[in-house]
Amino acid sequence: MRTRIVVDILLFLGVFVLPLWLICPAAIICLFLFENFYEIIIVAIFIDGLYGMPTRFLSIPAIFTLSASIIFIARSFLKKHLRF
Amino acid sequence: MNYLLKNSRRGNGAWKPIISTLVILLFTGFFYFFVPQFANQSLYTFARPIWSTRDYVAGKFTNLWSTLADKTGLAAENSSLQKKLDEARTALLDLEAYKKENDELKKILGRNPAEKKMLAVVLAKPNRSLYDTLVLDAGEKQGVKVGDKVLSGDFVIGQVRAVYANYSKAVLASSPGERFTVRIATSSIDTEATGRGGGNFIAKLPKEIPIKRGDLIKSPGLEPRFFGVVGDIEQTETSSFQFILFKLPVNINTLEWVEVVMNEKISNSNY
């Protein structure tokens, strides 16, 4: 539990400090390391809220939240068939 | 006695992740749809001290590195940079004189659109997300409006697209898919340029129009703004067009502050 709290704090601070290519893989790794890692959706909400803007290329306004939700649901079904 | 294994029970929490995801999304959605200003403002108020600390620490590390770096190398680099700076200063003297003359001529001819510029600190740069956006420390209270241009020197780097009480978000002109009209070099031919991300753009022109590396790309109109400098020209023998690849001369990942032109209303499709 303590590890998870430390990871959560680092991950949330990372949203403000670290580049995206470091945060995304870290969040996905945590998703497989911890049970029900809801924090991935909250991290994505933070990214969308801070930097998100519908552009012509990314016309969906909350692309990270949407992706994180799909990954989170997919992982919970996938994990039953994986030994991790 | 036989017991069912825990994992083989039918419907053992299969819907739990979906329901919990929906709950989180609905809860956040409520804030973003009904009190968007409050949600964003709170997020930025929370983020600001972290960003300030990051910049402070980064600054300290840069200073530390320059103390530890090789002194001879630094001295050589310093002298080379000093030489370049002197050359640039001389070139700028001419430029300033022409600029002044241009402004005076416009004033005489009654075409002197006064513009109000404001300095804004860049709180977050594009390398933090896929969105190619800048978070600025000026918002509604400081007079920033949606559609205001964001400049770095004389170069247009983006446009304000969202404004909160003390913060605003600007989308970079080079954001992938952004389109706007440009005039290339000294020609009077206008064409459409498209952003390619990271300060890079592409424009298509007929092959016959002479373009060379280093030409300036500007906006059409009486008060032209610059978008970039031609970096490369792609031509094929079979095509009747040439592709002009140009880029911003400023590094958007190292921007510390920008200027917001506050009285220029522009549409989303044109800078």
In chain B, residues with a C-beta closer than 8 Å to the C-beta of A17 are 50, 54
Q: With CB atoms and an 8 Å threshold, state whether B178 touches A55.
A: yes
Write down the pLDDT at residue B124: 87
Nearest to B171 among A13, A45, A53 (CB): A53
- Mean of pLDDT values over A3-30: 90
What DSSP state is assigned to residue B266?
Answer: -
**Does residue B268 have a pLDDT over 50?**
no
**What does the pLDDT look like over B76-128, one tens digit per residue?**
888 889 988 888 887 777 777 777 777 778 777 777 666 788 899 998 888 76
Number of CB pairs, chain A paired with chain B, less than 8 A apart: 89
Structure token pair of residue B17: 């992740």
Q: Do B175 and A55 touch (CB under 8 A)?
A: yes
| CB contacts, 8 Å: B43 with chain A | 46, 49-50
Please state the rounded mean pLDDT for residues A25-32.
90
Which domains are delineated in chain B?
115-271 (2.40.10.340)
Report d(CA B244, CA B11) in Å as an integer. Answer: 59
B131: nearest CB among A16, A55, A65: A55
Instruction: Enumerate the residues of chain A whose CB falls inside 8 A of the CB of residue B200.
Output: none
By C-alpha distance, which of B124, B118, B162 is closest to A61?
A: B162
Q: How far, in Å, CA of A38 to CA of A26, rounded? A: 14
Give mean pLDDT, residues A16-41. 88
CB contact under 8 A, B133 and A52: yes
**pLDDT band at B150, cuts 50/70/90?**
very high
| Residues on chain A touching B39 (C-beta within 8 angstroms) | 49
C-alpha to C-alpha distance for A24 and B64, rounded to whole angstroms: 30
Residue B139 or B236, more confident: B139
ipTM: 0.78
Average pLDDT, chain B: 81
The predicted structure's pLDDT at residue A38: 87
Q: pLDDT over 90 for what percent of chain B?
A: 6
Query: Which secondary-structure segment (H or E) carries A25?
Result: helix A20-33
Looking only at the bridges linking them, the beta strands covering B241-247 and B179-184 are unpaired
Q: Where are the beta strands (DSSP E) in B103-153?
A: 117-124, 133-136, 149-152
| A56/B131 Cβ within 8 A | no
Mean pLDDT over residues A14-28, rounded? Answer: 88
Query: How many C-beta neighbours within 10 Å does residue A13 have?
Result: 13
CA–CA dist A46, A41 (Å, integer): 9
Q: How confident is the model at residue B131 (pLDDT cuts 50, 70, 90)?
A: confident
Which DSSP symbol is given to B58? H
What's the pLDDT tens digit per position in B13-59?
A: 677 888 888 888 888 888 777 777 777 788 888 888 888 888 888 88
